[in-house]
Each structure stands twice: as structure tokens, then as C-alpha cells.
Structure 1
């Protein structure tokens, strides 16, 4: 492997070379903080030499290089050059604007204009909307995740450059006749600071060396995600043979599905759970090496297609409003509950279950049975008793996901699900543990952390008792039988006023009418209006902290033995 390196400033770097951003690189993703750091470097340089890091490339021609490391920085510097070019143009300084533009676009050896920075993933948005000097020829262009990042970065850099110029307009010490010249001088100084920035320019001779360096750099502390490394591996195995780059398109679709989701999901987490639902679970830090060993030229395409398909299922698991139909609403409801519990261990199992259902390996009834079992288990195990697992739970889910994936037919899949549900049943907390846990679930106006869980629990009890409400479930409010105004009086504390036994769901209008009335008054109003209320409230004449505790404990037994029974 031949490696050359040199210290070089930005002006000389761009003046004699053209740079390609290969398809294995991540899309442009610098945020405001990254851009601010670069801006601070530029302002701190004050026209002098200032080192801003390294850049690794491999040679594609005499003057052509593909970027292995440093593309985010190179792209941002190019955007800054465009912002300065446009600022000179606004001032009517065409020669200065065109002088900078020569570092953005210039003639190649065939005397054809060509952009110094060539990208595939953001083409043609970057070229038409930002790099082009003048109005774009294509007015309407797609603005996906990368394009939006480029647009935001260009806007921020344009604002920073403009602020330097606009500051002169409000400087009373500068006469109106001198302001134009001062603006030009200030932009020239900014230009010199940018062009004098220095990098360590590392050159390799071929693409294979670049892949090796890429992996080495990014497994030794660089900030590339597992996603980038896995994408790089697929790109290396599935090289494009024509005008259509299938890896780029398919991988872009995967990332787009994740980015567009309303759920808080990441590409790294998706890859981890995808793998754990099919193979032995591997820690995220070791996942790339495991994938690299198993995914080869023979099976890479099938794995990539599986990722494209599974990412939709993964999104549907975390975003219950996505993909599920009315006939599948019970599945969506259970998935929504699992999100309330903030539990991630079941994800490989859930992904495998949804995949099996979509593949026709299991019926909807079997999917509902399995997903509801997971919901019921984690309600008591996680949400109520906060039980901890030594790793056995995660292993159980991954093992089940793999076995279900490997099941050859519906009979074998059904047997795996039956065995899996039995394991959940055996791990359930006892009724005594659930009772203690119920006592600790609290909701008041000042203790709101568990409000989503409280609403979920109260709705399940209302459904169990077949309560009738005029409005939708989401419109109902949480009524405190003993009002919160009693907290701190007699023996009422926040703990017993906010306890489950003192709460039930009610429509907002009636809730407001009850306000801080006494227990007897509330009973009369609710009874006269034929409102659905918990049995303990209907058949009790005295309401005190002991009554609340008794009602809470009775709810816990009902929860364990009936509502959340597996």
C-alpha cells in the first residue's frame, strides 16, 4: 500500500484537483454546532495558517480523487466559499465573486466546466441550488434528509457572512462613502482566512486501499456509526454495473424510512435488532465485524433486500400509527403500550413476529396472542415491579426471534410461539410483587412522570368493566376521587391522593363540575348522571386513605389475575 501525505492549504487543495464523494460515504449531516466550530476556526485563524485536521483520498485520475475521510469538512468549506462568492456578487464585485467561484467550478482538461466537488447522494440539489453561480436551471428539486441538511447549513453560513457585512452598516464610525470599501475588505480578509486553512492531505493509490483505510480509521475511535461501516461493506460487495446504483437507492430508502418516522429510532439500533431477530445477538460494538464475516458476495443482495423490507416492519413496531389497519388495531394497541413501558428488549421478537405475519407464516390471531403476551408481561415485569434482568430476558427474545425466523411452516411457528409465551408466563412477578408495585404508581399535578402509564392502566380497567363514555378515550381526563386540594390535610398525602385506587377516567366537563366537592356530593352527581364509575366508589360510603389503599390493592389483584394474565 502506497500512502503519500502533505501539508496543504485550502486554496491549493481545491485549485488543482477535483473531488468525488463515493457512494459508501454517509450523506452530509453536519449540524449547527459542527458548522459553528468550523466558523470559529476560520475567525480564529485571522488569515494565518491554521490546521483543521486531515483528509484522506484515493486517486482516480491525474487530478481526480475520491474522498475517504473529511468529506463533511470539505463540503462545508465549499458551502462557505459559495456564501462568500454570493456576498461579493451582492456588493457588485463580480471579479472577486468569480475569483472565488474558480475554486467551486472550473474548466477541466477538456475545457469543460466542472464542479470541484462532485457528489452522488445529493445530486443535483447541491450543484443546482448551491454550487451554481446564478439562478438554477431546475427550479423544483427534491429536498430529502441530506438536501435539507445542506440547505440548513448554507442558510446558516450565508447568515454568518452577511452579518459581517451588515455590521458595517450600523457602525457610526465609518462614513457612508467608505462603507462599501470596508465591506469588501472585510470579505477579503474572511476569504484569506478560509483559503489559508491547512489540512494534512493523505493520498492512496486505489479503491481497495481506501476501503481498508476507511474501515481502519472508523474502528479506531472515529465517529462513523455501525450503519456507515455496514453500508460500506455492501457497497464493496455489490458494485454498480450500470447507471442505476442499486445499493445507493436501497440504502437511501432504509435511511429515509428511519428519518421520516415519528418514533425515536436510529439506523444503528435497527441493524442491531435486525441481526438479533435472525442470528445470534451481538453487541453493537462488535456487530460490524460479525456482519462482515457472514455477509459475502453470494448473499449480500438478499441481505440488503431483507433490510429494505424489515425497516418498514421496524418502523411499524415503534410507530403504531404506521402501517397497521383497522383489523390489526389490537396489535397496534399492544405496541403502543410497549412504547409507554419504554422497553426495548422485545424488539427482536416483535420484528420476527411481524415478519412472520407479513410472510404468511402465522395468522393475525397468533400475532395478536404473542404481542399481547409481551405487553402483559412487561406491564407487570417492567412498568409495575421494575424487575431487572441479568440478560436472560434479552437472550430469550433474541432466541425466540431466531427460532421463529427459522421455522419452516406455520405449525413449527405456532409451537415456537406457544413455548415462548410459556416462558413469559413462568417469569411473571407474583401477585404480592404486583400489589407493592401498584401502590407506587402515583399521579398528581405535581407528580406527572407516570401519567401515560396511569392513563393506560385506568383505560384497561374501564374496558374490563365495560364503562361507557360519550367521547373518545383520548379526550377523557383523570379524576381524583379525594381531590388534590386535600393534600397535606388530615391524613391525606400526595402518595394516597395520587394512588391508583383514588383515580378513574371521566369526561372533562363532568370532571370540572366535580372539582373539589366532597365524596358524598361527587357520588350523588355521578349517580344522577348514570356515569360509569369503579365499583369500589359506587358501593363505598366512606372515602379515606385506608379505602384508597384497599381499592389499590384490589386493583392489583385484578390486574395480576385477570386483566394482564398471560
Structure 2
């Protein structure tokens, strides 16, 4: 092969595994077979096998259809081992399949074909005439450990499989193949040998060989343009390596490894993080979709500098990922717990994370200023969610605020927030108040309802009793030790229905916010669906002032001007309980909400 030539060859897996390959340590790790924390995903290996089997199943005694599994890009090393630049997932999976077939045949006490053994490992003679035993595939990135070598040696059952993500994925993939052989081929030795024959003789791949790694990386980019087969994160990694000196590969590899570890630890989708980072850091239209990210990089090198200084760009991306991981754990960039961040997670659940764009943009702020920013985000998000602001409007505002805040100092922050996020809430003041005056149990997701009732209860407690470790944590209010109690039970007893009067048993009445209180579970278990007259004494046993004062606010007063008495004075209390009382209490809570979430009167 001449210095400038690029050679492509259509070959079978039999021909492919007559050569030796290594996956360089800067390459993407093995991700097929990966599952999320819920055990979802990881179906790529099964799909790979099923697609091949479907073609294999169409074979006759005299002929069988070929099956094409894709393209790989390689560069021949000085030791005649091919550097595998693109195609690691399918190549590794094919190799694992060969290992699994060998192991299945051995366990069935059948003779393993010599050709199959040589497709897994073989001897080669170096230029000095020495015989060297080699595996056909060698993974050089650290996270893979020795798992592939152990599987290739027939020691899969002895291998440690609970180490790194790559080790788990490779182990999962191997086990998937073994399960396929057992279930689909019924552990029939003849069927397994026949499938091996089809796999190595009829499954085809195109191998593109380049004279240099730089050319291999360029072809990788061309093949995967617009994310076909790989996503923008993989293509970005390739783009950075293309613009990095080979002497700096190790440095970039180390940065990228830390970056992917941070994203994995945050349990975030890499593309969502990348999109949020771009929106927070550069002048990017909020309409940017994940599918368009790689094209955006190609057109915006002047903004990012990723081609001129890929190491610097990657280092900035890593710092963003480190900050993101802190945010996921309710911390600022220094690792300090941020109360409002924890609250926002309780409010938004696990899926709403657009506010991370603003957090990334404001990660340069000092501790106090960042906490102030988080409180404003919590307040604004609550108003937006309760009033039903559309996702498109929500993100457009988020991106606008992020674009401005990345150049704001701590001294300028308060004025900025008062002229940006506070007016956003003010514009929705009327809608927010009116919505809360009508909202009920069934109008919100359970976690958001718990946030709403818990936050109101906490606010009154802090006003009355001051701060403490327990009262400072909203999680202590919305946690499992407390229930949302319906004052008029959803299924009231006969006595309770008679006492309440018209509307008892009507879900549109008993589900209203005004009919709900936060109550310790231990107390709630003792009151059931009895009438209000019997529940009142139980409510007064609650440690939550907002609940304690429902039957009698005067009972909570201890003086004339102390904090507890002042807080209790403005809480409504009700000697009896009917529809009118529910509406009155709901109006009070709606008015209180304007204060809690700091919704000003004027924009």
C-alpha cells in the first residue's frame, strides 16, 4: 500500500479475523449492552444477533444469503496489527460471538473447530523470526481491564464482571450471546456449528485501510457525517482528535475519559449535556436540536476554538461536566449543598432540567450569588409550571437569561434578577393566583403536589420557629413520613358526610387544595375518614403550624409579639368544615403562595 493510498476490501468475518486488531486507548469504549440504572436498554447485541439469524434462517441446503453488517476503518501499525479507528462495537460483538460459540461447543463436550480457535487467537511470526501468540482483538483503553482477554481465554465464568462500565457492558454482551445460543439454537451442537459457518462465511463487512491515523479519522468523520451510526458526542471526540497532534493524544484521551465519567456519574444523556453546555456557553439559538449539534460545530469554530486548540476546548467541556454533576447532586461547583437546587428537583422531578442551562452559565458566581440565582430559578419555575407555560416559551426564556448571565458578576446579580426573572413571574401573577384558587389534588402530578403543600407548610414553620437542620430541608416535609391528608375524606364516613353537608363525596370538592394539609403519617393513620369535629384535636397534635392552626390558630399562640404568635395570627382557623370553608382556605393559600414564591405585582 503506497503512502497516499486508501484501500477498501469487501470481506467475510472469516477473512476479517485472519488479521489482528487493537482498539486504541483514545477510542470510544464498548457501549453495546449498556443498561441504565433501571435496567433498561442494552438491546443492540440482541438485535445484532437476531438480524444475522433472520438471514441465516433463510438458508437452504445448497445456498445462503449474505448479510452486510457495516464498515470499519483501520490503520496498519508497525507491528502489522491494525488500529481499529471506527467499527469497534460491531467488531467486538462479532469477536465475543465467536468466543461464546467456542465456549458453548466446549460445554456440550464437542470438538471445537481449529478454524474457530484461530479466529480468536493465533500465533504470528515477527520480523525477527520469533513466534508471538496474539488475540485477534485487543482493547487498549484502561476501563476494559482484562475482561476480553479472560473471555478469549475461555475464562468468562471466572472473570470479574462488576468493575467499570466497559467491563459490565462486555460481560453483558457475552452473556447475551450465550443466552441466544441457548434459547434460539437450543444448545444444539450441530445448529451452533452451522450458525458459526454462516457467521464467518456469509456475514460481510467492508474494511477501509488508510496509511495514517489522521486519514482514518477523516474517513471516520465522513462515514458518520450527520450522526449516522454515531451521535454528535462521538463525532465531536473524533473531530478533536483530528485537530490534535499525535503527541497530545494521551492528554486529550485523559480529558475525554474524565468527561465521560462525569456525565455517567451524573446519569445524564451525553447529548443533552452537550446541548445544554453549548446553549450556556456560546451564542446558540435555542432551536438547536441534538441532531444538529455536529453541524453546528462545523460552522462555529470561531466561537468554540475547538480546531485551533482542541485541548483547551475539551478542558472547558470537562469543567462544565464537573459542574453539571454537582448540580445533579444539589451542589454548587465547590460541592456546597444548595437548598433551592434540591427544592427544584422536588418540583421538577427527574426530567425537567432546562434550568441547568442557566446554572451552567452562572457557574462562575460566588457561593452566595449562586444560591440567590438558584432561589430565583426555583421561584420562577414553580410559577411557570403551575400556570402551564409551554416548553418552547420556557426554554426560550431560559436561553435568553443564560446568555446574559454568563457575563454578570456577583455584584450585578441582584439587579439582573430583579429585571429579568422577577418580571417573568410578575407577568403571570394573575394566572398563578387564579390557578391556585382552583387547583386540586388531581390537577398535579403527585410529586409536584407534595412539593406545593410541603413548601407552604415549611414556609410557615420557618417564619414561626426559625431555621433548623430539619426545617431547612424541604425533603423532610415531602418525605415518606408525612401524608397529604384530605380534611374531608375522599370516602367520608356517614357521620362525616352528614356533618359536612352538601358536596360530601364530590371529588371536585374534596380534592381542592384548600381541603389538603400535610400531616405526620403516624397521626394520619389514627383519624381515617371521620368527621372534622373528631379530627380537629388530632390536627392540633401536628408539629406543622399550618396544619395545627386549621382548627384553632389561637391555641398555637404563646404571647403577643413572638414569632410563633405572629405567624399563627395570620393563619385562618375553622370551627366547622364545609365547602365554603374549603374555598376560603384555598384563597388564603393562593395569596400566601404569591409571598412564598415572590411573585411581584408589577413587571
TM-score (norm. length: structure 2): 0.78
Unaligned runs of 5+ in 2: 34-41, 553-572
Within 5 A, what are the aligned runs for 1:416-565? 416-428=413-425, 429-439=427-437, 441-443=439-441, 447=442, 450-466=445-461, 472-473=476-477, 474=479, 475-486=481-492, 490-492=502-504, 493-527=506-540, 532-534=545-547, 535=549, 537-538=551-552, 539-565=573-599
Q: Secondary structure at the match of 1:108?
A: strand
Relative to structure 1, the CA distance from residue 135 to residue 343 in structure 2 (aligned partners, 3 Å threshold; closer, same or farther) is closer
Relative to structure 1, the CA distance from residue 502 to residue 91 in structure 2 (aligned partners, 3 Å threshold; closer, same or farther) is same
Within 5 A, what are the aligned runs for 1:84-95? 84-93=101-110, 95=112
Within 5 A, what are the aligned runs for 1:333-482? 333-337=342-346, 339-340=348-349, 343-353=352-362, 355-357=363-365, 362=366, 364-386=367-389, 390=393, 392-404=396-408, 412-428=409-425, 429-439=427-437, 441-443=439-441, 447=442, 450-466=445-461, 472-473=476-477, 474=479, 475-482=481-488
Equivalent in 60, 70, 79 of residue 87 of structure 2? 70
Could you list the per-position Cα deviations for residues 474-515 of structure 1 after superposition, in whole angstroms to 9, with x for gaps in the alignment?
221111111111499942432321221111111112111121
Q: Secondary structure at the match of 1:356?
A: coil
Residue number in structure 2 paired with 1:408 = none
Give the deviation of 1:453 after TM superposition. 1.4
Residue number in structure 2 paired with 1:56 = 72
Residue number in structure 1 paired with 2:565 = none
Relative to structure 1, the CA distance from residue 421 to residue 228 in structure 2 (aligned partners, 3 Å threshold; closer, same or farther) is farther
Range with bigger deviation, 372-381 or 99-108: 99-108
Number of aligned residues: 528
Unaligned runs of 5+ in 1: 169-182, 405-411
* RMSD after superposition: 3.3
Equivalent in 135, 148, 155 of residue 127 of structure 1? 148
Residue number in structure 2 paired with 1:26 = 28
Cα distance in structure 2, aligned partners of 1:14 and 1:161: 21
Give the deviation of 1:34 after TM superposition. 1.9
Range with bigger deviation, 273-282 or 17-26: 17-26
Relative to structure 1, the CA distance from residue 43 to residue 563 in structure 2 (aligned partners, 3 Å threshold; closer, same or farther) is closer
Contact kept in structure 2, 1:496 and 1:549, CA below 8 Å? no
TM-score (norm. length: structure 1): 0.83
Relative to structure 1, the CA distance from residue 455 to residue 142 in structure 2 (aligned partners, 3 Å threshold; closer, same or farther) is closer
Relative to structure 1, the CA distance from residue 95 to residue 503 in structure 2 (aligned partners, 3 Å threshold; closer, same or farther) is closer
Relative to structure 1, the CA distance from residue 199 to residue 135 in structure 2 (aligned partners, 3 Å threshold; closer, same or farther) is closer
Could you list the per-position Cα deviations for residues 230-251 of structure 1 after superposition, in whole angstroms to 9, with x for gaps in the alignment?
1112222334538x82322321
Relative to structure 1, the CA distance from residue 199 to residue 234 in structure 2 (aligned partners, 3 Å threshold; closer, same or farther) is same
Could you list the per-position Cα deviations for residues 107-141 of structure 1 after superposition, in whole angstroms to 9, with x for gaps in the alignment?
223221112122222543343322224589x9768
Relative to structure 1, the CA distance from residue 101 to residue 245 in structure 2 (aligned partners, 3 Å threshold; closer, same or farther) is farther
Cα distance in structure 2, aligned partners of 1:501 and 1:258: 42
Equivalent in 220, 223, 230 of residue 224 of structure 1? 230
Q: Secondary structure at the match of 1:252?
A: helix
Could you list the per-position Cα deviations for residues 71-126 of structure 1 after superposition, in whole angstroms to 9, with x for gaps in the alignment?
21211111010011112222444552x43121111122322111212222254334
Residue number in structure 2 paired with 1:258 = 263
Residue number in structure 2 paired with 1:171 = none
Is 2:11 the counterpart of 1:8? yes
Residue number in structure 1 paired with 2:319 = 309
Give the deviation of 1:555 after TM superposition. 1.1
Q: Secondary structure at the match of 1:82?
A: helix
Range with bigger deviation, 60-69 or 81-90: 60-69
Contact kept in structure 2, 1:346 and 1:397, CA below 8 Å? no
Equivalent in 282, 287, 295 of residue 279 of structure 1? 282
Contact kept in structure 2, 1:55 and 1:67, CA below 8 Å? no
Q: Secondary structure at the match of 1:106?
A: strand
Contact kept in structure 2, 1:331 and 1:372, CA below 8 Å? yes
Relative to structure 1, the CA distance from residue 369 to residue 184 in structure 2 (aligned partners, 3 Å threshold; closer, same or farther) is closer
Contact kept in structure 2, 1:23 and 1:235, CA below 8 Å? no
Equivalent in 168, 177, 181 of residue 157 of structure 1? 177
Cα distance in structure 2, aligned partners of 1:317 and 1:189: 53
Residue number in structure 2 paired with 1:180 = none
